Structure 1
Amino acid sequence: MELSQPLEECDWVPRPRLTPLRRLGIVTVEDLLTHFPRRHEDRREFAGFPRDESEVPICICGEVVKTSVRRFGGWKKIFEATLEEDSANALSQPLVLRWFNMHYVQKMIATGQRLVVFGKPKLRGQWLCLEHPEFEVIENDDEMSIHFRRIAPIYPATEGLPQRVFRGLVYEALRHLREGEVETLLPRKLEGIGRREALQQIHFPESTEALAVARDHLVFSEFFGMQMTIASRRAGLASRRGAAHCGPGDLLERFLRQLPFDLTDAQARVLEEVRRDLASLQPMNRLLQGDVGSGKTVVSIGAMLLAVEAGFQAALMAPTQILAEQHYAVLGRWLEPLGVRLALRTGTRKEETGLGPLFAAVEDEVDAALGSAGCQPAVFGSLPNTARGVAETVYSRGRLPHFERPWAKYAITFTTRNRRQLSESAREIVLQSILRWKDHRYELYAACVMPDHVHLLIEPMVERDDDEGKPVFYGLARILHTIKSWTANEINRAEGTKGAAVWERESFDRLIRSQSDLQEKFRYIMRNPWDTNVVGQGEDYAWVWD
């Protein structure tokens, strides 16, 4: 008989037992023999009946001298069986076995039967009780030696497979299995005993020592097999050929220089290991693990920048929309000055006033280079048409989503076309245009005009009331069109570049959701000239307003 032989081909397996065996996932002889016992009961010699309750389970044997059924609560029943030990005397105290609402038990237990029971003794009134104990009826038949007077295995079983039946099937499987039909997985110098003997002793051990040796052999074999599988997969991975995904590192160095902190030794070491992996022609297979706050995100961004610099795209995935938005804000703050284009895509989310958007990914390919880094400019999304104002929640989507609602505050960023550098006089024109409409169309919390982009933190004001008396707010499209149109004309006139495009048509706006969110965006805008090294730390920057 081979281990791979299906049980349905074995004549020692009763046909009615095949279905419950399949419920346990047992189809072959090997499945049956590797369905290991969950515990063992030493039935060579039973201890005497307990005299006190205990939290430690006991295994005892005795004869049923009385059975009874008591009803309570109408249809509910308690079945009790009184058990006496074999050598009972006048001082012996019987043990009460008790089951609640388990009607089938009373059909299995009768007066005069001998039982092996396993459970915790509890004192209930004057009697020691075992409540819902595991039990097995001892039958004087040809199979008694399999189940009694030995260390007996107790299996994780299922309905239709009593312990006695399952134990008998395992015994038959081992009886038909020859030594040469079971291959030992361990090297010869580590074998100790063979796998055939280990299977015999794990199911029907001759002693507790033999059981321990068999268990060690099987555990060692399982771990050895896992290690061999891992080594095989690693060798297969090493033989695969791919493409390098690592750029020269200029973009990464610029990113690291602008960080307000230095990398730890561990971060620097891991980033160097990732760089070697990306530069290799073999596919990278790496898990980055660290405590919360240990700096995994910075290392991940570094790896992404190496891939982007090599002409590829990279995705940072997050398990929740909130976390995705937090990462998006951090990446925007760190990568926007480097000219790396970002996009956010999340699932549907319920906002305070209804369902939120399904954010769209940037669908066009990365096709334009900027400087030595080979990255595209940051292009975010076109605004919805809200020229007539906003009286209720409005959602629209260009390259990225736009979400407007009454009484809302927004952090807005718009960039120059092809990262055109604004002169000092041009930056002054932009800042004066922003201040011109302050307290007329919006309340201004902060503004910063950088050499190639602009940051605003605003709250649109009420433009008018509609026919129902509801306030209608100035729309972001109207606010930004006014600023962009006027400043583009003035800058071209001042610099003699009539008709040249100054601003990207698209912009990025983010709804401010909390006071802490507002403070974070305010600090980001105020520190932007310092964090991007446009001016030195602590130096004044003329085109910031707060």
Structure 2
Amino acid sequence: MAKSRTTHSVLLGPGDMVTKWPGIGETRALELENLGVKTFEDLLGLWPHRHEDRSVITPLWMVQDGESVTVQGIIQSAHYDPVKKILRVQIQEGHASLTAIFFHASWLKRQFEPGYKAIFSGKAERRGHQLSMAHPDFQVMTEDREPLLGLVPIYPLSGSLKQVFMQRLMRDIVPRFAPQLSDPLPRPIQEQEGLISRPEAILHQHFPPNALALEASRKRLVFDEFLRIALAVLLMHQVDPHVPGMVQKPDGPLVQRFLASLPFSLTEGQKKAWDEIQHDLRQPTPMARLLQGDVGSGKTVIAILTMLAAVDAGHQAAFMAPTELLAEQQWLVLQNFLRPLGLSVALLTGKDRHADTYREALKTGSILLVVGTQALIGDRVEFKRLGVVVVDEQHRFGVKQRARLSLKGEYPDMLVMTATPIPRTLALTVYGDLQVSEVRGLPPGRKPVETIHLSHKDRRIAYQRVMAAVKRGEQAYVVCPLVGGDDEETQAKAAVDLAEGMKKIPGWRIGLLHGKMHSKDKTRIMEQFRQGDIDVLVATTIVEVGVDVPNATMMVIEEADRFGLAQLHQLRGRVGRGPKPATCFLIADPKTDQARERLEAMVRFHEGLKLAEEDLRLRGPGEILGMRQHGLTGFQLAHPLKDLDLLQRARGVAREIVRSDPQLVQPEHQALRTWVLDAMDDGIPSQVLH
């Protein structure tokens, strides 16, 4: 470490801001913040995305053309050509030499002082006796700096940050601050699981002495990621054993009348899921169940049965959807289903002009069934006796939001649903102690949607097929591309432009739906489409879930390579909901291998669970699970499929810890409690940890 830094940073600790470190000014601080780094502890957790093996230095005379190597030599010269904007740095080793070439990097010249040793890593190019390397990673050896060799970390970058700066910064920071961190995991658990200490794991994740040390480091840090999330979720799902839950009536008269009113019989998958839920509803302990079912598998019917069981028992039931449009759609669906029973359903959203009236009616108990958005968990909403909570599209809500809604009643039964299935063990870890039910299979007569990938030059084929379907009396969706990112305004503009272009072609009636429209207009357009007054609905991704129009048989997704697999599968699920064959066209010229693989998976697979596993395989856990919505920091090193064994072990340890110490108040768990609470973006509702 440079002497000048020691005097300035002797009193710094891991929690201090990185701006206190020499060399980190306002610009670099903002660029580091873009990487999620504000404090030195944040910096310690900025893991390298890979390590390059620079343990072997190849003599210059042995370097072959096209070889990726690490070489060294004495700097002979550093010349910048202002016309061509090229910096050439020549090093020499014995009789051999190499020229490193840097484009638009005049500022680098002062770092290459002749006479010092330099180490370059990169791909070499040999033309005759001339050896060169374009934009190599480099290190210049000075009196106070040792070379960084062996397994060298390669860090994510932002803005003008350079790899050499990040490596030097980390080499100064990590050995200094990592040993100052406490280890939240009790030593007996470390020994039981064969784990190294967390400070050692952090140090070796950045600068491993060898491959074995890197693997041991990763094992500990992956275990920590799984354990932290599992503990946080388990804490939030705790129920006070002294407060009994509500017993519902799953065989009550409303439930029986609803089943008799259905124009179809429940599928075997629906029957199995309903049997499991009925068992839970009869128990005095609150139900906490996750209902996974593929798009169109009939989860809504199971949700209605669950809500009616509460009403039959004299309780209220609430259905929470992630957006206003989806809440409105589910409200319409529930109204259609329940009208024959003489039951009304209220709709409560943040913009509803009847909100005050509905809130009063919920408080007095005159409203028994309500559908709403997150407005349902607002401070002003009170229920007289909330018995059942159904949460739709689970991946869009966090455990904190579910916890807050459950606190609206005396531990109501909770059913959370998702059409974005994930592997069972991962579901149990992320969603806590929810029991898992699956609605397998599709209703009788429903067939998988044929999926076809077309390039832009062949997209007319898709629209010709749509026109033919319209002439047969069928309907279609056209989903506009993601333009400029997942931004509502740019998506809306793309949808408007697409719809205007299609309206110029006679033969079909075009409707438009996007997130910037007024709620009334969105509801009106959807109702017109449902009634068959619109042939083709041009829309943004707000039609991703919840929209049910059995006569829609065609789906065209423009720029399909910009969407994730889960979203593509949800969009495809909007068609094929009736007895007629359905087709989904994916219009795209994929620019990356991963994008091409996603489209190939969509064409090959129709089952949501298989596609979810493909998604995990292709792009890792990332935001597939909506970890940010959970209020939890997501997975960084862990991969739920590749690290399944560690996932299971960490979840087992978490369950044992919470079983022995439900509030983590024992002395040996104090550090663990603080560590888990720090994982939350804005903490756990205070009523949950009391």
Q: TM-score, normalised by structure 2?
A: 0.42
Quote how far apart the aligned CAs of 1:188 are.
1.9
> Which deviations, in whole Å up to 9, do the C-alpha atoms of 1:434-490 show, x marking residues without a partner?
xxxxxxxxxxxxxxxxxxxxxxxxxxxxxxxxxxxxxxxxxxxxxxxxxxxxxxxxx
2:246 matched residue in structure 1: 244
What residue identity is the alignment partner of 2:341?
L
Distance 1:34 1:289 in 2: 34
CA shift in 2, pair 1:283/1:117, >3 Å: farther
1:305 matched residue in structure 2: 308
1:86 matched residue in structure 2: 93
2:333 matched residue in structure 1: 330
Distance 1:288 1:346 in 2: 24
Quote how far apart the aligned CAs of 1:341 are.
0.6
> Which deviations, in whole Å up to 9, do the C-alpha atoms of 1:220-275 show, x marking residues without a partner?
344344444444444x3364735416235321221122212222233223223334
2:22 pairs with one of 10, 16, 26: 16
1:97 pairs with one of 95, 98, 101: 101
Quote how far apart the aligned CAs of 1:34 are.
4.2
Quote how far apart the aligned CAs of 1:154 are.
4.5
1:114 pairs with one of 106, 117, 125: 117
SS at match of 1:7: coil
1:517 matched residue in structure 2: 532
Quote how far apart the aligned CAs of 1:293 are.
0.8
CA shift in 2, pair 1:267/1:179, >3 Å: closer
1:535 matched residue in structure 2: none
Seq. identity, %: 31
Q: How does 1:55-454 map to 2 (within 5 A)?
A: 58-71=69-82, 78-84=85-91, 86-89=93-96, 94-100=98-104, 102-121=105-124, 130-141=133-144, 143-144=145-146, 147-148=147-148, 150-156=150-156, 162-173=166-177, 184=187, 186-191=189-194, 193-234=196-237, 236-237=238-239, 239=241, 241=243, 243-244=245-246, 246-247=248-249, 249-319=252-322, 323-344=326-347, 360=354, 363=358, 365=361
CA shift in 2, pair 1:275/1:191, >3 Å: same
SS at match of 1:186: helix
What residue identity is the alignment partner of 2:50?
R
SS at match of 2:93: coil
CA shift in 2, pair 1:9/1:274, >3 Å: closer
Q: Is the 8 A contact 1:59 1:116 kept in 2?
A: yes
1:45 matched residue in structure 2: 56
CA shift in 2, pair 1:274/1:515, >3 Å: closer
SS at match of 2:22: helix
How many residues matched? 357
Q: Is the 8 A contact 1:136 1:164 kept in 2?
A: no
> Which deviations, in whole Å up to 9, do the C-alpha atoms of 1:495-528 show, x marking residues without a partner?
xxxxxxxxxxxxxx9886248535999x99xxxx
CA shift in 2, pair 1:124/1:7, >3 Å: farther
1:495 matched residue in structure 2: none
Quote how far apart the aligned CAs of 1:6 are.
5.6
Distance 1:253 1:166 in 2: 66
Q: Is the 8 A contact 2:100 2:135 kept in 1?
A: no
Q: Is the 8 A contact 2:153 2:207 kept in 1?
A: yes
> Which deviations, in whole Å up to 9, do the C-alpha atoms of 1:1-54 show, x marking residues without a partner?
xxxx961899xx9853687688564646x6565444443344443135553336
CA shift in 2, pair 1:510/1:198, >3 Å: closer
Distance 2:210 2:37 in 1: 29
CA shift in 2, pair 1:273/1:45, >3 Å: same
Distance 1:510 1:136 in 2: 65
Quote how far apart the aligned CAs of 1:120 are.
4.5
SS at match of 2:118: strand
Quote how far apart the aligned CAs of 1:339 are.
1.0
Quote how far apart the aligned CAs of 1:193 are.
4.1
Distance 1:326 1:180 in 2: 49
Distance 1:148 1:6 in 2: 25
CA shift in 2, pair 1:88/1:269, >3 Å: farther
1:443 matched residue in structure 2: none
Q: Is the 8 A contact 2:37 2:43 kept in 1?
A: no
Distance 1:343 1:181 in 2: 47
Q: How does 1:446-525 map to 2 (within 5 A)?
A: 513-514=528-529, 516-517=531-532
Q: Which shifted more, 14-23 or 272-281?
A: 14-23
Q: Is the 8 A contact 1:116 1:135 kept in 2?
A: yes
What residue identity is the alignment partner of 1:237?
V
CA shift in 2, pair 1:103/1:334, >3 Å: same
Distance 1:239 1:215 in 2: 38
Distance 1:515 1:375 in 2: 27
In terms of Rg, which structure is larger? 1
Distance 2:263 2:204 in 1: 64
Q: Is the 8 A contact 1:157 1:163 kept in 2?
A: no
SS at match of 1:136: strand
1:467 matched residue in structure 2: none
Q: Which shifted more, 287-296 or 192-201?
A: 192-201
> Which deviations, in whole Å up to 9, do the C-alpha atoms of 1:287-341 show, x marking residues without a partner?
3222111112111222222223333443434455554444344323221010111
2:378 matched residue in structure 1: none
> Which is richer in helix?
2
> Which deviations, in whole Å up to 9, do the C-alpha atoms of 1:369-406 show, x marking residues without a partner?
9xxxx979xxxxxxxxxxxxxxxxxxxxxxxxxxxxxx
What residue identity is the alignment partner of 1:40?
H
Q: Is the 8 A contact 2:261 2:340 kept in 1?
A: no
Distance 2:365 2:211 in 1: 73
5+ long unaligned stretches in structure 2: 1-10, 370-522, 536-547, 552-690
SS at match of 1:330: helix
Distance 1:288 1:256 in 2: 19
Q: Is the 8 A contact 1:95 1:130 kept in 2?
A: yes
SS at match of 1:289: strand
Q: Is the 8 A contact 1:39 1:155 kept in 2?
A: yes
Quote how far apart the aligned CAs of 1:162 are.
4.5
Distance 1:343 1:103 in 2: 67
CA shift in 2, pair 1:239/1:62, >3 Å: farther
Q: Is the 8 A contact 2:315 2:368 kept in 1?
A: no
**Higher relative contact order (Cα pairs below 8 Å, separated by 6+ residues):** 2
Distance 2:14 2:306 in 1: 55
Distance 1:360 1:124 in 2: 78
Distance 1:7 1:281 in 2: 50
Q: Is the 8 A contact 1:64 1:81 kept in 2?
A: no
Q: TM-score, normalised by structure 1?
A: 0.52
Q: Is the 8 A contact 1:8 1:18 kept in 2?
A: no
CA shift in 2, pair 1:113/1:298, >3 Å: farther
2:480 matched residue in structure 1: none
